Amino acid sequence: MVATLVAVFSLTGVETQAQEKAAKPMAAKKVKLPKWKNEDFYQNGKFLPEKGKQAYLDLMAAHGYPVPESLRTNMFASDFGLGDFVNVGMGGVFWVNFQDMGYFAHEIYLLPGQMIVEHGHEATAKGKAKMESWHVRYGGIYTFGEEGGPIPAGIKLPKSQEKAITMLKCYEMKPGDIRTLNRVGAKHFMMGGKDGAIVTEYGSFHDNDGLRFTNPGVKF
């Protein structure tokens, strides 16, 4: 009987230690990234998509993010035709985009401080205006739109976009956070945090013809 009680108490102690350990917040993984410069991604003023893709692959490697061949094959990198990739651009993969069934799955890759140009979605002949949610997997982002608080101290928006930015309310999002656009058609944009970002986007059918950028110089 005594031996049984000792065993029970010992097991309870082990379980308690395990629970206490699990309850402690995990320390953020330290990520070391290159110091990218715009000149790394341009030749004679022309954007080099393969250089952009490699930067995102380096970002994934730093975070320990798995890279299947399907990702390498289908990913894209864009500077939105604005010539400022380090500050304004994005990478991604459209995993599915079904007009007939009305759903969409996308991954977004952002370098530290890299901004997706502010935009909204409108209905087209192919479907309703897109609705979307964002799920941060690695790194972090700042989302800007009609809801949120003031821009956190130390966060600088790209100078090249100052005249095109109209949304200045902000939410910081960390790994595991999920947010949904507050309403269909609302203007919004996001920017990578200090460790860049890998974000899963869930949405309704996406039609590029419904994209409306606030910067008229965008080519996407």
Residue 123 belongs to a domain? yes
Q: Give residue 1's pLDDT.
A: 47
Residue 163 belongs to a domain? yes
CA distance between the termini of the chain = 74
Residue 186 belongs to a domain? yes
Percentages helix, strand, coil for the chain (3-state, rounded to 5) are: 25, 35, 45
Q: Give residue 170's pLDDT.
A: 98
Contact of 105 with 96, CB cutoff 8 Å: yes
Phi, psi (degrees; rounded to nearest 5) at 38: -55, -35
Count of positions (residues) in the chain:
220
pLDDT (tens, 9 = 90+) of the chain, 220 residues, equals: 444 444 443 444 444 444 444 444 444 567 899 999 999 999 999 999 999 999 999 999 999 999 999 999 999 999 999 999 999 999 999 999 999 999 999 999 999 999 999 999 999 999 999 999 999 999 999 999 999 999 999 999 999 999 999 999 999 999 999 999 999 999 999 999 999 999 999 999 999 999 999 999 999 8
Residue 8 belongs to a domain? no
Residue 122 belongs to a domain? yes
- Spell out where the chain has E strands: 42-43, 46-47, 76-78, 90-98, 103-110, 119-121, 132-145, 169-173, 178-180, 189-203, 211-213
Structural domain including 37 reads 32-213
Residue for token pair 């910081």: 172
Based on the number of CB atoms within 10 Å of its own CB, is 181 exposed (0-12), middle (13-18) or buried (19 or more)? buried
Q: Give residue 30's pLDDT.
A: 79
Residue 133 belongs to a domain? yes
Q: Give residue 31's pLDDT.
A: 87
The count of domains in the chain is 1
Amino acid at 8: V
Q: Give residue 28's pLDDT.
A: 54
Residue 132 belongs to a domain? yes
Rounded Cα–Cα distance for residues 177 and 181 (Å): 13
Instruction: Name the pTM for this structure.
Output: 0.86
DSSP class of residue 118 equals P
DSSP class of residue 210 equals G
Q: For position 139, which CATH number holds?
A: 2.60.120.10
Give which of 146, 157, 151, 142 is closest to 192, Cα–Cα.
142
Strand partners, 106: 94, 201
Rounded Cα–Cα distance for residues 140 and 172 (Å): 8
Q: What does the block give as tokens for 95? A: 């995993």
Residue 141 belongs to a domain? yes
